[in-house]
Structure 1
Amino acid sequence: MSNGAVEGIGVLERAVELTKAGISFVMATVVWRQGPSSGQRGSRAIVTADGAIYGWIGGACAEPVLIREAKAVLRDGEAKLIWLGQDSDFLGLHIPEGVVTIPISCQSDGALQIFIEPVKV
């Protein structure tokens, strides 16, 4: 699934390559994290329509969710903000309009918010 961790400019270079090749993709960016999580604020990844990932946004719990949500964003053409966390992370909170909460069951108990935007060419 993943092509491995690639930092900053490598993801952006890949985005340029895909755009020049006429291949649509999704850019995912970690905008918030809580607790122990392998995803770091500012981490980015590209997801293509076939589910290939270039870059890093988090580990084994986040990656399959990102692929599923990225495919939907690419299909629908609308960006979304997803919040991945434990069920208890969402209890009693006011979730802003438009934020999609997705319970995950990672042993780390960490949480991530990932902005996913389509880049259609």
Structure 2
Amino acid sequence: MEVPLGSNEGCPTEKFGNDWYCFYQYDNYGGRRLQWNAAHTSKMYFSNYDFINKTSSWVNGGGKTIYVYGRTRTGDDSSCTKHLWTESKHFKDNDNPHDNQADCFKTS
């Protein structure tokens, strides 16, 4: 069993295992947070979590690369194809230049 060690801007970290990646509603890691630690090689849609166009900052505390996309057609998850940014391993951004544009993501 993995033991929680602490956090990185509120995003959980683990002593051993698969560190987490998180998306935040506001700049500087504020507001509502969505978090995962599993690989998602197929796109995960923020519409399933009422988080469409709400990401303003993020933390990637683990060893995965995260690819974030926006929609090209409003209300259509199948159009989530516009690459917005790539989250490098063990990196974070508190003032995302693509503020409130993310609609889905996938991981390496």
Larger strand proportion of the pair: 2
User: Which has the larger Rg?
Assistant: 1
